[in-house]
Amino acid sequence: MFDRNGKKIILNSNGEMFLKTVNESLSILENGVKELLDTNNQSKPEIKLLVLAGSNTLPNLILNFKKAHPDTTFKLLQHVDGEIDYKNFDFCISSTLDEVHDPFSITLLEEELFIGMPTNHPLATKNAIFLEEIANENFISFQSNKPFRTISYSLCKYAGFNPTIVFESDVPSIVKQLIIAGLGISFIPEISWGIHADDSLKLLRVIDPVCKRYINISWHPDNYISKYAKEFRDFAVEYYSML
């Protein structure tokens, strides 16, 4: 199962195959223990969330859930560097450009993406634009490891250009202030950011391409989902349907 490589010992193909089987067996055992504790009401009411989208909507979601389940605790992770081990979380809340069709994901919210710009921008006299009209603009965007950045970039590519990113921020309120200051424009989700047009901010609908995203809740197929986690998932689906 091992090969020697100089002073190192590495797994060969047989070792890698055996390691995969061991890891799968350990996962089954771990899930079995969790299920026993859950069935006998001995599991800890804790929910671990990886939040890559819709973070502005989470405080009210969690607050309302805890009113009905006050003993439940939450562990949230928003910023991840490197590869993500999704098995460490009960759920991942993320966003996609296309609707998901996956037995381990549920779409929570479908929302249109507008273009936010200051009201003194030359295009602000319009109510709708083609995305290609802003090909030469400076963009404010999320960091490159966030799904929203990927979605924004994909839409621009579809319209025939690569966006020029001049500022990065993962905080919607900061993005808004940068736009108002005239430092760039940005995609603005219709609902989840809670940002609306006002005397200083214009939101333009995009005629083509269709600009929207889907916020989804997903779970690892090999993980045991506790009754507390299932209750939260069902609650989240209902909560987002009312936004």
Q: Which domains does the chain have, with CATH numbers?
A: 2-39 (no CATH), 109-214 (3.40.190.10)
Give the dihedral sign, CA 142/147/149/152.
negative
| Residue-level pLDDT at 33 | 47
pLDDT score at 26: 46
The whole-number pLDDT of residue 45 equals 84
At 85 the pLDDT is: 85
Q: Answer yes or no: are the C-beta atoms of 34 and 224 closer than 8 Å.
A: yes
- pLDDT given at position 22: 43
- The per-residue pLDDT for 84 is 82
Place of tokens 């809740």: 217
CA distance 221 to 123: 47
For the chain (243 residues), the mean pLDDT of every run of 10, in chain order, is 64 57 49 51 79 94 94 88 84 95 96 98 97 98 90 97 96 96 97 95 98 97 90 96 93
- In this predicted structure, what is the pLDDT of residue 29? 46
63-91 burial, b at 16+ Cβ within 10 Å, e below that, comes to eebeeeeeebeeeeeeeeeeeeebeebbb
Helical axes 227-241 vs 58-68, angle rounded to 10°: 130
| Residue with token string 């349907």 | 241
DSSP 165-234: EEEE-S-HHHHHHHHHTTS-BEEEESSTT-----SSEEEEEE-SS--EEEEEEE--TTS---HHHHHHHH
Q: Which residues contact 81 (CB under 8 A, 6 or more apart)?
A: 145
25-31 long-range contacts (CB < 8 A, ≥24 apart) are 27/87, 27/222, 30/224, 31/222, 31/223, 31/224
Query: What pLDDT is stored for residue 80 in this prediction?
Result: 73
Query: What tens digit of pLDDT does each residue of 64-97 get?
Result: 999 999 999 999 998 777 778 888 999 999 999 9
Grouping H, G, I as helix, E, B as strand and the rest as coil, residue 239 is helix
